[in-house]
Amino acid sequence: MLGPVILAASRSDRMRRLISAAPVTKRVVDRFIPGETVDEIVPIVRELTDRGLELTMDVVGEDITTPEQAEAARDAYLALIERLRTLELGTRAEMSVKLSMFGQALPGGHELALANVRPVVEAAAAIGTTVTLDAEDHTTLDSMFAIHEELRKDFPQTGCVIQAYLFRTEADARRLAGAGSRVRLVKGAYKEPAEVAYQQKHEIDKAYVRVLRILMEGEGYPMVGSHDPRLISVAQELARQAGRKPDEYEFQMLYGIRGDEHLRLAAEGHRMRVYTAYGTDWYGYFMRRLAEKPANLRFFLRSMISK
């Protein structure tokens, strides 16, 4: 029951101001967002890649209100990519982007987001890596998929995310499962109405398996974005049934969640990519992590009380 309440708070400016200003918040936030600047995140990139993990990098931020902020988001990614160039990691460090941060919700937002994300995709390609477009709330997805299709004309390796909780996703998966595609499947992290999305965990889990089967049986490259131990076993079994070798799909998990499992899967010979978020505008990302696991909220509240 707490999850939807926290997700509603994640869109509230008042809560944003309150929580962002709380003196102890930063300590708790660090678990999920281990840096605010490129300089702070580079040692984490080194540490994780040295341990055999791969990364997808997210500069946190969303729901911006001016075109200048969208340009600043673009520039933040370009600065990150410039630093990654010196580390020579290639596809071991790719980028994840939220189009809302590139201006998608502003007037003329579809064109603005495409214009801002394209240089990021170009810069990533120039250092031998790629970009995946995150999936946000369902009202943004037609625009996201159209931008994805447009970018793939020049950069076919550009990936996108689909969310198992949405009714539309099986059809999207069929459309996206062709040769050369890279698709991350996740359960879905936004508060969605019953008209468009499954609401019960068991329904979402069953949909996840159906969609994953489509991706595994397709010709693209599935990226299994989940920490759910049952779904990870199912993914291994579906990959086996589809005749896929370990390098023909990958697992992805979020920084700060089930870190031992990251290392276990990598040691078993799987490609394990850690979604590593950093930056100052962490509120929305942090609140979704609280909503996924109410125990996180208890930990957060305890840290405020015990200050």
CA-closest candidate to residue 128, choices 101, 170, 89, 87: 89
Question: What gap in Å lies between CA 33 and CA 29, rounded to an integer?
Answer: 6
CB of 179 to ligand FDA, least distance (A): 23
Question: What gap in Å lies between CA 66 and CA 284, rounded to an integer?
Answer: 18
Chain residues binding ligand FDA by CB under 6 A are 134-135, 161, 163, 186-190, 225-228, 252-254, 257-258, 275, 289, 292-293, 296
Q: How many degrees, rounded to 5, is the angle at CA 100 between CA 98 and CA 106?
A: 160
- Among this protein's residues, is 289 annotated catalytic? no
Question: What gap in Å lies between CA 190 and CA 192, rounded to an integer?
Answer: 6
Amino acid of residue 162 = I
- Among this protein's residues, is 134 annotated catalytic? yes
Q: Can you read off the two tokens belonging to residue 102?
A: 């590139």
CB of 289 to ligand FDA, least distance (A): 4
Catalytic pick among 118, 182, 184, 271: 184
- 46 Cβ neighbours under 8 A, 6+ residues apart: 87
CB of 230 to ligand FDA, least distance (A): 9
The rounded Cα 130 to chain-centroid distance in angstroms is 14
CB of 7 to ligand FDA, least distance (A): 10
The helix (run of H) or strand (run of E) holding residue 132 is strand 131-133
Residues designated as active site: 134, 184
